[in-house]
Structure 1
Amino acid sequence: MKIDFRKATLADIAQMRELVRPEVESGVILERSEDEIATNIRSYTLAFHGDELVGFCALHIHTSYLAEVRSLIVKDGYRGQKIGEELIKKLLEEAKSLGLQKVLSLTYKQSFFERLGFVEIPKETLPEHKIWADCIKCKHFPICNEVSLIKNL
């Protein structure tokens, strides 16, 4: 199966929100408004099978040395085909090209990220602005079951 990857455009937003909606409703991924996605559109990398959007994720920069993987999603029926892995690899390449030193992930899929070289870190070591800017929006806050992992580049 041929999967094409490209950076997102504003025209992709509706399709992106539709793809991620089930994961948002279940509380696995934080909801991002249309405006929030538009503001951060340059952060997103998309995966397509033909004209069908089958996955995406974002590289969100926190500091001059630290970024975060956000909103990783692969459509049901396409999971297990290394699309998510390829999306993360593309984000890591982008992070390196920008001069970042570390990439963070908060996830329920610990083993997936560990296979890609991420290692678990205590949540207490996360930047404080991360907690107040994002985590407070989560329906699970303050009882967080996500694992924080980091990869040194």
Structure 2
Amino acid sequence: MALSVSTVCRKATVGDVDTLYELIQGYAEQGIMLPRSKEALHRMIDTFVVAEQSGVVIGCGSLCKLGQDLVEIRSLGISDGYKGQGIGGKLVDSLMEQAKELGTPKVMALTYEVEFFKKNGFTVVEKEIFPEKVWTDCVHCKKQHCCDEIAVLKVLN
């Protein structure tokens, strides 16, 4: 009988910065996530949640406030070898709880993993409905004029 290992999601701490950096950098090198410096991760650590198994961080995600009624899921990633086990869904659930606690009714993401977000209750929308995102991040992105990410949105009840 296989021993089941449970995944726990928790708020990230400064002690997680190196692991977060490595995880995000792996995605950034593939061109599917914006890179984050260790300095930026230190500044934003309170926006991150991590997924952990047996004390090892195996996934992360963050929530960025873009406006009074809008937050964005960012830097959502899972370590190789742990994908397809529902860990991403647990991270999204944890971030949704944070959004509810903030009283923010709309959660968006820009993604290449549309089906994953659809399974988690998001709907595909036009990027242009998020001027908050365009003017805070997209203006600095090298893909600004040829962005191929898909915008998704979930409205919380």
TM-score band by shorter chain is over 0.9
Q: Secondary structure at the match of 1:16?
A: helix
Are residue 140 (structure 1) and residue 140 (structure 2) matched?
Answer: no
Q: CA RMSD in A?
A: 1.2
Are residue 112 (structure 1) and residue 84 (structure 2) matched?
Answer: no
Q: Secondary structure at the match of 1:14?
A: helix
Structure 1 Cα separation of the partners of residues 112 and 102 of structure 2? 27
Counterpart AA for 2:107 = V
Structure 2 Cα separation of the partners of residues 9 and 88 of structure 1? 18
Contact 2:62 2:76 in 1 (8 A): yes
Structure 1 Cα separation of the partners of residues 58 and 123 of structure 2? 27
Question: TM-score normalized by structure 1?
Answer: 0.94
Structure 2 Cα separation of the partners of residues 22 and 40 of structure 1? 19
1:123 to 120, 124, 127: 127
Structure 2 Cα separation of the partners of residues 130 and 105 of structure 1? 10
Match of 1:34 in 2: 38
Q: How many residues align?
A: 152
Alpha-carbon deviation of 1:140? 2.6
Q: Which runs of 5+ in 2 are unaligned?
A: none
Amino-acid identity (%): 38
Q: Secondary structure at the match of 2:95?
A: helix
Match of 1:71 in 2: 75
Q: Which runs of 5+ in 1 are unaligned?
A: none
Structure 2 Cα separation of the partners of residues 88 and 35 of structure 1? 24
Question: TM-score normalized by structure 2?
Answer: 0.91
Match of 2:59 in 1: 55
CA deviation profile, 1:62-121 (whole Å, cap 9, x unmatched) = 112110000000011100000000100111011011100100010000011011111111
Match of 2:7 in 1: 3
Contact 1:27 1:138 in 2 (8 A): no
Which range moves more in the overlay, 130-139 or 45-54? 130-139
Counterpart AA for 1:71 = S
Alpha-carbon deviation of 1:31? 0.7
Structure 1 Cα separation of the partners of residues 106 and 153 of structure 2? 7
Structure 2 Cα separation of the partners of residues 98 and 133 of structure 1? 20
Structure 2 Cα separation of the partners of residues 143 and 87 of structure 1? 29
Q: Secondary structure at the match of 1:29?
A: coil
Structure 2 Cα separation of the partners of residues 119 and 103 of structure 1? 11
Alpha-carbon deviation of 1:29? 0.5
